[in-house]
Amino acid sequence: MTDDKGGRAAPEDGGSYLPASIEAAWGLRERPTKGPRPGLSQDRIVAAAVELASAEGLAAVSMGRVAKELGASTMSLYRYVSAKQELYVLMQEAATGAPPELFAPGVPWREGLERWARAMREVYLRNLWLLRIPVSGPPATPHAVAWWEKALLAMDGTGLDEGAKISVTLLVAGFVKSDALMAAELADAVAASGAAPEEAMLQYSRTLRRLVDPAAYPQVARVIDSGVLDHADGPDDEFRFGLARILDGVAALVEGRAS
């Protein structure tokens, strides 16, 4: 039984509703049996959409444009993908992929979470368009659940309860996404300026020296005078610093629960 949005309606025994996109991601939806275009499939449609997003950005992805790339009619795509939002979910699932084997049993929780965060960051940096996909709900696709499992596994044995583990997972995941987005936007801004990263940072420092009145902004002036803005730290340095501070906080939580 399906509802009017294409998802599987909640069964009479009180089971949960499954959105069409989640059904598609888990392979729970029936394949079209009448009149499908030869060679067209959900996998081909998703692969074409991912390739388009990688080349031109997420904004270039539409059902019509993907159909054109495949040499098919737009309506034929709807036999396999019910809407653009569903396509986004399937694209995200395909580009994210399964998590790597990050650690063996016995690896300290902090090292495990750091490996998890770095692996997730690499996914974003390889597929910057993923950062533009709007959040449509909690992680519920196969690969998303697999990544979630790895983060929870890293914290097994910490003494944290399940609610705290979920909160830590969300905290770290949010930081990774925010860091990747900022790194991507800064890289775009530097590229648009035509300057090398080091030169762009030096130009920024010089601009602030001209604009900032030390009497009005004494703290900013001290930063400028220190010279830290005259050179650019690598994006990995900022990521490492931020992640370390977050994990310091988690360590305090773990120690507090243990005591």
Give the mean model confidence (pLDDT) for residues 167-188. Answer: 92
Domains defined for the chain, CATH in brackets: 20-96 (1.10.10.60), 109-258 (1.10.357.10)
Q: Among 67, 64, 63, which residue's Cα sits nearest to residue 37?
A: 67
At 154-177, the pLDDT tens digits run: 999 899 999 999 999 999 999 999
SS (H, E, C) 48-87: HHHHHHHHHCHHHCCHHHHHHHHCCCHHHHCCCCCCHHHH
Task: Evaluate whether 139 touches 145 at the Cβ level (below 8 Å).
Answer: yes
- In angstroms, the Cα distances linking 60 to 53, 84, 89 are 7, 12, 16
Q: How does pLDDT run across 121-166, given as a tens digit for each residue?
A: 999 999 999 999 988 778 889 999 999 999 999 999 899 999 999 9
Going by the DSSP 8-state scheme, the letter that residue 3 receives in this structure is -
Q: CA torsion 39→45→51→54, rounded to 10°?
A: 180
Q: What pLDDT is recorded for position 243? A: 97
- Going by pLDDT thresholds of 50, 70 and 90, the confidence category of residue 1 is very low
Query: Which pTM does this prediction carry?
Result: 0.83
CB 253 within 8 A of CB 171: no
In order of 27, 35, 91, 128, the CA distances from 66 in angstroms are 21, 20, 12, 19
For residue 13, pLDDT over 60 is answered with no
pLDDT digits (tens, 9 = 90+) for 26-44: 888 766 555 555 579 999 9
